[in-house]
Amino acid sequence: MDSSNRNPTTDEEDQPHLRRIGRISSHLIHTDGSDQHQLVPLPCARKPLKASVSALTEVMKGKHRDLQERIFDFFSSRPDLQTPIEILKDDHRELCMRQLSGIVRDAGIRPFQYVLDDPERYFAVLEAVGGVDMSLGIKMGVQYSLWGGSVINLGTQKHRDKYLDGIDSLEYLGCFAMTELHHGSNVQGLQTTATFDPITDEFIIDTPNDGAIKWWIGNAAVHGKFATVFAKLILPTEGGADMGVHAFIVPIRDLKTHQVLPGIEIHDCGHKIGLNGVDNGALRFRSVRIPRDNLLNRFGDVSPDGKYTSGLSTTNKRFAATLGELVGGRVGLAYSSVGVLKLAVTIAVRYSLLRQQFGPPKQPEISILDYQSQQHKLMPMLASTYAFHFATKYLVEKYSEMKKSHDEQVVGDVHSLSAGLKVYVTSYTAKSLSICREACGGHGYAAVNRFGSLRNDHDIFQTFEGDNTVLLQQVAGDLLKQYQEKFKGGTLTVTWNYLRESMNKYLSQPNPVIVRWEGEEHLRDPEFQLDAFRYRTSRLLQSAALRLRKHMKTLGGFGAWNRCLNHLLTLAESHIESVILAKFIDAVQSCPDKDTRAVLKLVCDLYALDRIWNDIGTYRNVDYVTPNKAKAIHKLREYLSFQVKGVARELVEAFDLPDDVTRAPIGLQSGAYAQDGSLTRAMGLFSIGLEQVQLQDNLKGLATQKRALHRLIQSVTDF
């Protein structure tokens, strides 16, 4: 046969070696004609890095750093508003109220105006006040983001005209009464009722049983005058129809006397693990009547004759729209949690640079950060802090865009992204606070060095504004929805765009060449790193979809979901890690200064390889990396930790946290721990302060304890 007429496909089928060469070539060269965006590998040669604190600070500081500095300067000038190490619950609550009042009335900063007009500025304020006292950050969030935000987002113009000025000025201190004793995450299961009475044109708010008592309501125990109460709207005129959960403004205390109003019972939730500057309380309603106009009626309204109208056709759609408008709380928690992590890492790294212990024989002791074990604890954490900074910065920008444009695609993107980042960042920060405490040894256990209070105050971030496990399931559900739309030819929203490519590219067999590449340049290539993250997510997504389909045949939808639950949680976490890395890479490649870009590239590489190594078993199980490549990843991860250690001081200085915020003697910019007895003097002043507190406590301690015991007994008796 003439060779010119031979079929090359037939040759490949007859000769396996040609088939293998063709497969390898297809991996190395794009043959589909697609014009894919290529990530640019940055130089990563092993040479000393030039880390400029001022240049790094310029990259890290937000657009509203000047506003944050105003807040720091205000509290620095007001020692009477600074939170002491030891403070009684009731005193802390009053101090927290004075701190909030000081910001608004003395410093002239009006956070509520930023909630209305400039969310990015509001979140900058939230981060700053959280650094002063986390209780203050939460109390401010309850007042403006939750109580004020519910009026803005769920109400209409009549509600804004009536309440916004009072909310802004703190005249109308309020609560957000959603959670009940028996229902937290399952908001649709709330039992509080709001029954319309057409004769008096009023709603009657009732707590039908003990399980329906509103619980953990911030601002309720002491300061709140109003509450946004979430309750089932009941229409007797429609045969007792339950129209689903709606929000109602309910006055709970007299505006002049501050006395609790008739029909309302308020009880104190008492001392908590942390955040004791926030006065959490329980609310019970006994046939409390409110005007019909107090229904926040953006998504549903009731006419004087009891007719219900809504632009949304079903209860589920109205419920989704209602909760969707409250996503700002999750954005704030994710952003604030990064601020807590920055603070903890700063204290731990500064201490580790200064603390010396052991060393070679007959030579000076060395810094504990020179030990590989300490680097292993803190350097990936420092890298993660930078990664989270850029990811949450992007989230805040998208949230601001959403509030201005109301674009449905952006709305959907922000809802899922805020849920995922809130979970991932708060969970990581909670674990890191304990690691930082341990890394600072005995000094880390001293209350004055902050880790205990930071850990206790932050711990609840994993629960409120959506339990982390529940929110991860929302992310997984959205991923599965996008997966389904991919195969139906639907469009994908912004955050999930890579799934379009991944369904084709990442679900094919791993590249037989790349799985063996072990070179540093390859491992530090952002394209390899993103591919690895996205490959894992895509494999998890495809296998989850197949498992759910299989189990639904025998277990039904709920049973199948529960059977695959841990798989789905892992899928959601994997996706969020991919988004975080993508935003970090974007930040690195957009950095204009060459030296600073090289430092950020180093930190980004450590973040990526640390995450890959932490889940190396998954990559090995699917032959995404060979054993030798896995070893190379581990070795490079250790080396990058060592390199980051060399610029750790500059990296934490770039967070630009003043000593008035850091406050821990072992973590001050001045290096108090190392300077001629400065730490001793600081601890001495702390001891004197404690003695003064203890003397005051001795005078009133017994009476306070008796009052607290009486209140506790009374609360139990009343309930």
Of 322, 248, 257, 258, residue with least CA distance to 285:
248
Last residue of a domain, one of 285, 318, 351: 318
Please tell me what DSSP assigns to residue 583: H
Residues 563 and 423 grouped into a single domain? yes
Asked whether residue 562 is assigned to any structural domain, the reply reads yes
- Of the three residues 140, 169, 198, the one that is the final residue of a domain is 169
Domain with 195 in it: what CATH number?
Answer: 2.40.110.10
**Tokens 């992310």 correspond to what residue?**
475
659 lies in a domain?
A: no
> Is 58 among the domain residues?
no
Do 156 and 194 lie in a common domain? no
pLDDT of residue 403: 87
Q: Is 465 a catalytic residue?
A: yes
Q: Does residue 661 belong to any structural domain of this protein?
A: no
Secondary structure, 3-state, 123-140:
HHHHHHHHHHCHHHHHHH
Q: Where are the alpha helices (DSSP H) in 524-647?
A: 526-563, 565-589, 594-614, 616-621, 627-646
Say how far residue 696 (Cα) sits from the centre of its chain. 38
- Number of domains into which the chain is organized: 5
Question: In a 3-state reduction of DSSP, which class is residue 506?
Answer: coil
Distance CA 379, CA 374 (A): 8
Enclosing domain of residue 29: 3-51
333 and 305 inside one domain: no
Whether residue 288 is contained in a domain is answered as yes
- For the record, the structure tokens of 687 come out as 């001891």
Domain boundary among 169, 195, 222: 169
Same domain flag for 687 and 705:
yes
371 and 485 housed in the same domain:
yes
pLDDT of residue 457: 97
pLDDT (0 to 100) of residue 702:
44
In-domain check, residue 658: no
**pLDDT less than 50: residues of the chain:** 1-14, 20-21, 23-38, 40, 45, 672, 675-678, 680-706, 708-709, 712-713, 715-719
232 and 154 within one domain: no
Q: Would you list which residues are annotated within the binding site for FAD?
A: 179, 218
Instruction: Say yes or no: 361 and 493 in one domain.
Output: yes
The pTM of the full predicted model, rounded to 2 decimals, is 0.86
**Residue 566, in any domain of the structure:** yes
**Binding-site residue positions:** 179, 218
Annotated catalytic residue within 202, 325, 465, 650: 465
Q: At 420, which CATH number?
A: 1.20.140.10
Q: Examine residue 554 and state whether it is found in any structural domain, yes or no.
A: yes
In angstroms, the CA 579 to CA 533 distance is 9
Neighbour tally for 553: CB within 10 Å: 8
Whole-number Cα distances in Å, 538 to 444, 482, 507, 531, 532: 41, 12, 7, 10, 10
Tell me, yes or no, whether 357 and 312 share the same domain: no
Question: Are 555 and 645 in a shared domain?
Answer: yes
**36 and 147 assigned to the same domain:** no
Looking at the structure, do residues 713 and 607 belong to the same domain, yes or no? no
Backbone angles phi, psi at 12, to 5 degrees: -65, -35
Together in a domain, 380 and 421: yes
